[in-house]
Amino acid sequence: MPIAKKDIEEVLHGITINGDGKSLYDGNLISNIMVFGDQVDIDILVKNPTLQAKKKVKDSINKLFTGKFNPEIKININTKHSNNNTITPNAVASIKGIDSIIAISSGKGGVGKSTVTANLAVTLAEMGCKVGILDADIYGPSIPTMFDLEGERPLSVNYNGESKIKPVENYGVKVLSIGFFTKPDQAVIWRGPMATKALKQMIFDSAWGELDFLLVDLPPGTGDIHLSIVQSIPLNGAVVVSTPQNIALADARKGISMFRKENINVPLLGIIENMSFFVPQELPDNKYYIFGRQGAKNLSEDKNVPFLGELPLVQSIREASDVGRPAALQENTLVKNHLTKITQKLVEELIKRNTTLPATKVVKITNMVGCSAIK
């Protein structure tokens, strides 16, 4: 039987270390608990920085855990020194000046997640919003190409008295990507911790300035980068991109499940179906459902996730991405109309989500000045 987070919490409620009679939980000393299968990570804040004190905490926890849980379960206990008398449990860092952070994900690669991210960002910018993209697809960054920024290098600037990375900007969107720091043909062969460190630098050591939206283009699947994001920054929500094909939908289900896990709990703002149908340029009234029909829409109904809309499979989207000019910049096209409707629906779902959840869990949006998507 898999271990549950509440089982860990019950044990920790019985451990006291400061001599004041308060448990680790009552003293607000548990900063994080993550349960993934047969592995448990516990982060504890201790007021006594000595190695002896830290060892005492670990020994006390291990002693209580012995016999209560399956010995095959691996428990990692991380202790950190804190000078504060009061600590907020499960605290996460926020990025000053950024109102809303949205993760764009996909269960499977090749479904057009990065293309959707780029076009959502440009559409939001055209609506008058201040937008940024964090390209968190460390091993396959493609955002620089889609924004015609290949070969660009971010500058170092003095921001509020500190040296920060200045995002590169095009089409009214600020962009940071690992692709700016590597050669075009250079493979990024990093283990999880190194990739995570680089990602956190782009998040917290950058001068993003004031933003209405920061879109985080996640790698496909579920892994280290996804966990690093949800542990580092307070996401307002996540969007899942999929094609209508059953193989893609199977992995999209796993992505939905990841965000809904008790120890992650990121609200799902919706599903976008990409490559929904093919429209020949010479026969604009004809639709061919190459990858199946309404697969993502059916998934959204099955999982009770809002359906944000569908994007057609047309040659102009591919061409626009290849030349670094997102299709959202086109005027009076089928693609432009679909993108506008999807973006409006996304913002509506974000506002709805922020008004129904406690303000302490997210950066609450009270108004979207300048965004014509809000009507």
Task: Give me the torsion for CA of 201, 203, 207, 213, rounded to 10°.
Answer: 170
10 and 108 in a common domain? no
- 367 is a domain residue: no
131 and 244 in a common domain? yes
163 and 15 in a common domain? no
What pLDDT sits at residue 127?
87
pTM of the model: 0.70
Backbone torsion region of residue 323, taken as left when φ is above 0, otherwise alpha when ψ lies between -120 and 50, otherwise beta: alpha
Q: For the chain, how are helix, strand and coil distributed in percent, rounded to 5?
A: 35, 25, 45
289 and 264 in a common domain? yes
What pLDDT sits at residue 354?
77
What pLDDT sits at residue 151?
86
Range of the structural domain that residue 333 is part of: 98-361
- 51 is a domain residue: yes
- 90 is a domain residue: no
Q: Give the C-alpha separation, 240 to 253, whole Å.
A: 9
68 and 115 in a common domain? no
Domain count for the chain, please give it. 2
Element (H, E) at 159: strand 155-159
Which residues on neighbouring strands pair with residue 158, listed in sequence order? 163
Among 23, 54, 81, identify where a domain stops: 81
What pLDDT sits at residue 12?
74
- 353 is a domain residue: yes
Output the domain CATH number for residue 36: 3.30.300.130
Q: Give the C-alpha separation, 80 to 20, whole Å.
A: 20
Q: Render pLDDT for 198-231 as a digit per residue (tens, 0 to 9).
A: 888 888 888 899 999 999 999 888 777 887 788 7
- 368 is a domain residue: no
111 and 176 in a common domain? yes
- 372 is a domain residue: no
50 and 118 in a common domain? no
The tokens of 125 are what?
């910018």
- 284 is a domain residue: yes
Q: Give the C-alpha separation, 223 to 227, whole Å.
A: 6
Instruction: Find, among 201, 198, 215, 179, the residue nearest to 324 by Cα.
Output: 179
Q: Give the C-alpha separation, 243 to 113, whole Å.
A: 10
287 and 344 in a common domain? yes
Output the domain CATH number for residue 160: 3.40.50.300
Which three-class secondary structure state does DSSP give residue 158?
Answer: strand
181 and 112 in a common domain? yes
Among 81, 106, 139, identify where a domain stops: 81
Q: Give the C-alpha separation, 332 to 181, whole Å.
A: 36
Among 27, 56, 81, identify where a domain stops: 81
176 and 207 in a common domain? yes
Cβ contact 43:31 at 8 Å: yes
What pLDDT sits at residue 27?
57
162 and 69 in a common domain? no
Residue ranges, the chain, pLDDT below 50: 84-93, 359-370, 372-375
- 352 is a domain residue: yes
Beta-carbon contacts of 182 under 8 Å, excluding residues fewer than 6 positions away, are 141, 188
What pLDDT sits at residue 219?
87
244 and 303 in a common domain? yes
